[in-house]
Amino acid sequence: MEMLEFRFDSKPGARPTDPALCGVVGSGNLEILVQPSEQPDCCQVRIKTSARGFGATWRAVIGDFAASHAAGGTAIAINDMGATPAVVSLRLAQALADYQGGAL
Amino acid sequence: MSLSLTNRHCWFEATARARINGLLDTGSFSEILPPAASQPSPHLAQLDLPGAFDDGVIVGYGQLEKKPIFVIAQEGQFMGGAVGEIHGAKIVGLLRRAAREKPAAVLFLIDSGGVRLHEANAGLIAISEIMRAVLDARAAGVPVIALVGGSCGAFGGMGIVAKLCSAILISEEGRLALSGPEVIETVAGVEEFDAKDRALVWRVTGGKHRYLMGDCAMLVDDDIAAFRTGTTAFLADWREPAPSAALLRARQQVLENRLAAYGTLRDGLQVWAALGVAQPESVPMLDRDSLVALKEGLPT
């Protein structure tokens, strides 16, 4: 297992108090928990992943997500069981939409 | 009841959370120890494996047709729904609360291969505590209904737990047994049981077979709404009996008779013929309603 932590600037978004969870820690899948954080212009992400050595890929995928979504003010926790970058991107968008109560 | 694909919300492929949402009255579910408050398994962390926030089981309360209901739902996609220490403790806690607060029923959405072997003794103890808690809830007058229709079925310790419940509702896709097919093949050899023969696996452990044998009270379509309708109908007629030695002895006698009648048979096909099914080879292709009609026409 590898633990990673990232912090990216992101546009401030809606910050409901209720957390949102999406996905399951199954093979090729991951779960994402989105909660409010104290910093409205920053997206913090903590990852536990079964696949070691993919830090640069995670950085690219999360950086892209933070730049393209209003994910400021969120603390995101991820448990990953080998999801591909495309699955991670889709789940991040889904989790944020669930959290902010909007559609995808 | 034949359902068009567009109206169907498959139970087999749904996550545990999706099953709960479709099963209970819309918006009525409240989760106890939700992901943000729960803890992933420390045992898995020691083994360098990522856990799940809810440790693979969701517990809480809600309503079914406006009646208060407690719910336990195992997530089969996380480690095969296997029971670890925290997973088990959440289930036991909910069952103990049910014995105190007496909801109309506990719905136990089983989707599990049994003990989580990574957690060894902690998982085994968890299973035994679940068994005791199911019996205590029933003794307090609270029906505990097992709903089985997920990809992991109900095997190992969770197969026993399923049979300790008041009743089991199962879909054709659901499976129920003690040792799983691969365990039997590994221990006794492929001549004894070919775990890759999926048709055989379902003829021996699948929902239709379990329903024909009387192991399950109800066969329902692989559809979340069908599980909801079935559960509602079952609970409307069910009164939880007080535990008694006479009931247990009668059940023991039924099982002894069954062993004597079918114990030497090798395949569901032979058992169905012995049960009086005229064309046993037609059973796997029958839809749910036809199979229920077939069972109701069998000699008892």
CA-CA distance, B54 to B167, in Å (whole number)? 26
Q: Domain total for chain A?
A: 1
Contact between B232 and B65 (Cβ < 8 Å): yes
Cα–Cα nearest to B180, from B196, B164, B167 = B196
Which chain B residue shows the shortest CA-CA distance from A75? B36
CA-CA distance, B130 to B100, in Å (whole number)? 16
Task: Look at residue B3 in the predicted model and tell me its pLDDT.
Answer: 59
The answer for residues whose C-beta is within 8 angstroms of residue B253's C-beta and 6 or more apart is: none
The answer for residues whose C-beta is within 8 angstroms of residue B134's C-beta and 6 or more apart is: B95, B108, B144, B161, B164, B165
Q: Does B34 touch chain A (CB under 8 A)?
A: yes
Task: Look at residue B7 in the predicted model and tell me its pLDDT.
Answer: 75
* Residues found in chain B: 300
Which chain A residue shows the shortest CA-CA distance from B81? A26
CA-CA distance, B81 to B150, in Å (whole number)? 10
Cα–Cα nearest to B55, from B121, B131, B110, B116 = B116
pLDDT tens by residue, B7-66: 789 999 999 999 999 999 999 999 999 999 988 999 999 999 999 999 999 999 999 999
HSE-CB of A56 using CA atoms within 13 angstroms: 1
The reply to whether residue A21 touches residue B35, judged by beta carbons under 8 angstroms, is: yes
Pick among A18, A24, A34 to test the B interface (most B CBs inside 10 A): A24
Antiparallel, parallel or unpaired: β A30-36 and A20-22:
antiparallel
Task: Look at residue B38 in the predicted model and tell me its pLDDT.
Answer: 84
The reply to whether residue B77 touches residue A49, judged by beta carbons under 8 angstroms, is: no
- Contacts with B78 from chain A: Cβ below 8 Å: 24-26
HSE-CB of B105 using CA atoms within 13 angstroms: 27
Contact between A22 and A95 (Cβ < 8 Å): yes
- Contacts with B36 from chain A: Cβ below 8 Å: 19, 21, 33, 35
Tell whether the model's pLDDT for residue B168 goes beyond 70: yes
Task: Look at residue B39 in the predicted model and tell me its pLDDT.
Answer: 84
Task: Look at residue A102 in the predicted model and tell me its pLDDT.
Answer: 59
Q: Does B241 touch chain A (CB under 8 A)?
A: no
Q: What is the mean pLDDT of residues A79-85?
A: 97
pLDDT tens by residue, A2-46: 999 999 999 999 889 899 999 999 999 999 999 999 999 999 999
Task: Look at residue A92 in the predicted model and tell me its pLDDT.
Answer: 98
- Quote the mean pLDDT of chain B: 95
- Report the gap between the CA of B147 and the closest CA in chain A (Å): 20
What are φ and ψ of residue A66, in 5° steps? -65, -35
- Report the gap between the CA of A79 and the closest CA in chain B (Å): 6
Tell whether the model's pLDDT for residue B165 goes beyond 90: yes
- Of residues B34, B48, B50, nearest to A25 (C-beta): B50
Q: Does A98 touch chain B (CB under 8 A)?
A: no
- Contacts with A49 from chain B: Cβ below 8 Å: 50
Q: Does A80 touch chain B (CB under 8 A)?
A: yes
Can you give the residue range of the structural domain that contains A88? 2-100
- Of residues B49, B51, B78, nearest to A24 (C-beta): B78
Task: Look at residue A4 in the predicted model and tell me its pLDDT.
Answer: 98
Which chain A residue shows the shortest CA-CA distance from B75? A24
Domains of chain B: 7-176+216-242 (3.90.226.10)
Handedness of CA B139, B86, B149, A99 (dihedral sign): positive
pLDDT tens by residue, B200-214: 999 999 999 999 999
- Report the gap between the CA of A100 and the closest CA in chain B (Å): 16
Tokens 């066969």 map to which residue? B219
pLDDT band at A101 (very low <50, low <70, confident <90, very high): confident
Strand order in the sheet with A42-49: A2-9, A42-49, A74-80, A30-36, A20-22
pLDDT tens by residue, B220-238: 999 999 999 999 999 999 9
The reply to whether residue B50 touches residue A80, judged by beta carbons under 8 angstroms, is: yes
Tell whether the model's pLDDT for residue B2 goes beyond 70: no
Please name the residue ranges forming H helices in chain A: 55-68, 85-100
Instruction: Encode B80-107 in three state secondary structure.
Output: HHCECHHHHHHHHHHHHHHHHHCCCEEE
**Percentage of chain A lying above the pLDDT 90 cut:** 93
Query: Is the ipTM above a cut-off of 0.95?
Result: no
Tell whether the model's pLDDT for residue A104 goes beyond 50: no
Task: Look at residue A103 in the predicted model and tell me its pLDDT.
Answer: 44
